[in-house]
Chain A
Amino acid sequence: MSVAVTTSGAAPRTVWRRGILASRKGRWGFGILTGLALVAIFAPLLAPHDPNAIDATRILAPPDLAHPFGSDALGRDVLSRVIFAYRVSLGVAVGSTLLAFLVGVPLGLYAGYHGGWVDTAIMRPIDMVLALPAMLLAVALIAIIGPGSNISALAIAVIYMPILARVVRSSTLVVVSQTYVEAARARGTRSRTIITRHVLPNAIGPAIVQATILMGFALQIEAALSFLGLGAQPPTSSLGVMLADGRDVLTQAPWVEVFPGLAIAITVLAFNFFGDGLRSRLDPTGVTE
């Protein structure tokens, strides 16, 4: 057993092999997400048709070999549209969660490490945001700034940031009370170094798990916002926009509605599987349960 422990003790490769990929859920989640990410990245190469090309001869045409997902009310190829819409939706989901992660993690870390009034000053406003209903908050933000996929990403980040900050704060509190942090203080290490070198690597695990699962739900929130016309604006399409389009023709041409819906369901499921796989390794005590 040769384990390469390099700069930070818990070697990433070991985490990968023994933890995430050891569970069947983790393998499935990882596999599906890799596939979906490739689809999003290589959308222009994979889409068989132009997603916006209108074909009057194929209005609401059912699936066939050339158009496996059928066509919509304007005769556009649903498969190509799902692929391109997926790109937008996944981008919003990943981008918004990353933004929330980058802002929330330092805040929670700082609050948890320093405690006292610093903690209060950082966490009370965050608790206030957390107390508002998520959807309402997103809709209100979009009402102020205006619709669009970037704005919905921002709105989702605002919803998620407090959640991640709280998760990091709670795991930081546990880490700060560990002897090795006290030992680092006792050898005169500067606070900044203690936070970045000793607290962060030990406290970040649950936040990574949480962020992974939140990404799946971000896709749902994005779809809901787009469905309401608050997210991606034409000509950009997203899975939510497609759901809204398909709703009108649900009885005549269910394929217009079903395929984008399936894409959402599979993605959320994959993120959850992957998150569970990560949890077994990064958060064995279950802070994020």
Chain B
Amino acid sequence: MSDLLRLEHVDVGFAAEDGRVSAVSDVSLSVSEGEIFGLVGESGCGKTTLAMALMGLLPATAHVAGSVRFQGVELLGLPPEELRRLRGDRISMIFQDPMTSLDPTFPVGEQVAETITAHRDVDKARARERALELLGDVGIPEPDRRFGDAPHRLSGGMRQRVVIATALANEPALVLADEPTTALDVTIQAQVLDLLRELRTRLQTTIVLITHDLGVVAQICDRVGVMYAGQLVEVARVSEIFRSPRHPYTQALLAALPTQHQAPGSLRVIPGRVPNLADPPPGCRFSTRCPYVMDVCANVPPLAHETDEHLIACWLSEATKQAGQPDHAAAGGAA
């Protein structure tokens, strides 16, 4: 499988009153064609910012550096009109809350059709026909009756299906799904995940699934990247992450999952708090909460291959130690 998407040393900073907030720091990863890649981490760790950065949808106050190559084309610095042509056509996005991601005054079918007419030179009737087909594909009963409905006439699950139909309208190569199931109740969640999985099988669409829900990751993803406070700390196959997490943050995160045998009121937590990203700790950003913290953690640990498919950025790992000698890393950044 070849790389569809390759991020190299992506940094995203926001200009703020008290200096610069570093939302994403030195993230490198690649996603292969046809895979479902999970990006997990807690709220505010930079998952969504990263997705918005590759769509070119960040506000003007954001500063993005590094390289994002999609199908071999560098996306950062692409002219706005060319980015617009990619968005919704080759790359599309599914948003978290279908209650807010559909225009309340605009018929749902038209929102799907609009995605088609924005990129294809087709007449309205043809776009409508295709939109009806898509609505049917994502499991909306009687699409021709639903086409003209305003979003408030649909249930949450139905709305998310419309959002997914919109994202798939032009058969994109890559779908960024930002917490697509978070706003839905559990049974609808399962239906939506099944739908995504089925679409991957049918259309060979690559999906980057952004979530904080490890249960979702376990159900649907092939590989997973774990982010903490803007840094990518571990990348591995899903089974591997759950069986043998290597990074202390991943370990702590999995240990915090409640189990059936746990006594009520005794949730496990990770001690400490997420660092202030306007003034992050130097080096590893988990070092302020890590039980194994060492002097060397004041240097940024490079993400290194522990095995072919398991990458980790932690000075406890031999791979990381070999990839970046502390002196070298401090002098030249994690190269």
Interface of A is mostly: helix
Q: Which of B19-27, B99-107, B222-230, B309-317 contacts A (4 or more CB under 8 A)?
A: B99-107
Q: Which of A78-86, A89-97, A181-189, A246-254 contacts B (4 or more CB under 8 A)?
A: A181-189
Question: Cβ of B87 < 8 Å from any Cβ of A?
Answer: yes
Question: Cβ of B36 < 8 Å from any Cβ of A?
Answer: no
Does the CB pair A201–B88 fall under 8 Å?
no
Does the CB pair B106–A186 fall under 8 Å?
no
- Residue among B93, B103, B169 with the highest chain A CB neighbour number at 10 A: B103
Q: Which of A8, A182, A188, A193 contacts B105 (CB 8 A)?
A: A8
Q: How many A-B residue pairs have CB under 8 A?
A: 90
* A194 CB to nearest chain B CB (Å): 10
* A112 CB to nearest chain B CB (Å): 15
What's the Cα separation between A154 and B92 when bound, in Å?
48
What's the Cα separation between A159 and B106 when bound, in Å?
33
Q: Which of A180, A187, A201 contacts B92 (CB 8 A)?
A: A187
| Contact pattern, A 144-187, Cβ under 8 Å of B = 1, otherwise 0 | 00000000000000000000000000000000001111111111
Given contacts A9-B151, A178-B100, A179-B101, A187 and B107 within 8 Å (CB-CB):
no
Interface of B is mostly: loop
Q: Which of B111-119, B136-144, B197-205, B262-270 contacts A (4 or more CB under 8 A)?
A: B111-119
Given contacts A5-B107, A8-B105, A182 and B57 within 8 Å (CB-CB):
yes
Instruction: Give the residues in chain A near B87, CB-CB below 8 Å.
Output: 185-188
| Contact pattern, A 106-135, Cβ under 8 Å of B = 1, otherwise 0 | 000000000010000000000000000000
Q: Which of B97, B114, B119, B150 contacts A9 (CB 8 A)?
A: B150
Does the CB pair B100–A179 fall under 8 Å?
yes
Does the CB pair B166–A197 fall under 8 Å?
no
Does the CB pair A179–B93 fall under 8 Å?
no
* B183 CB to nearest chain A CB (Å): 11
B residues 207-226 touching A (CB-CB < 8 Å): none
Question: Cβ of B305 < 8 Å from any Cβ of A?
Answer: no
What's the Cα separation between A6 and B107 when bound, in Å?
8
Given contacts A5-B153, A179-B95, A183-B95, A189 and B105 within 8 Å (CB-CB):
no
Q: Which of A7, A189, A193, A202 contacts B104 (CB 8 A)?
A: A202
What's the Cα separation between A8 and B104 when bound, in Å?
9
Question: Cβ of B321 < 8 Å from any Cβ of A?
Answer: no
What's the Cα separation between A189 and B106 when bound, in Å?
14
Question: Cβ of B85 < 8 Å from any Cβ of A?
Answer: yes
Given contacts A188-B85, A188-B115, A190-B84, A183 and B153 within 8 Å (CB-CB):
no
* B96 CB to nearest chain A CB (Å): 8
Does the CB pair A202–B105 fall under 8 Å?
yes
Question: Cβ of A198 < 8 Å from any Cβ of B?
Answer: yes
Given contacts A182-B57, A202-B103, A188 and B86 within 8 Å (CB-CB):
yes
Instruction: Give the residues in chain B near A183, CB-CB below 8 Å.
Output: 93, 95, 101-102, 163, 166
Residues of B at the A interface (CB closer than 8 Å) are 55, 57, 60, 84-89, 92-93, 95, 97, 100-107, 114-115, 118-119, 148-153, 163, 166-167, 169
Residues of A at the B interface (CB closer than 8 Å) are 5-10, 116, 178-190, 193, 197-198, 201-202
> What 4 A-B pairs have minimum CB-CB distances, sorted nearest first?
A188-B88, A187-B88, A9-B150, A188-B87
Could you list some 29 contacts between A and B, CB below 8 A?
A5-B107, A5-B149, A5-B153, A6-B148, A8-B105, A9-B104, A9-B106, A9-B152, A116-B60, A178-B100, A179-B101, A180-B104, A181-B103, A182-B95, A182-B101, A183-B95, A186-B87, A187-B92, A187-B93, A187-B166, A188-B86, A188-B88, A189-B114, A190-B84, A197-B103, A197-B114, A201-B105, A202-B104, A202-B105
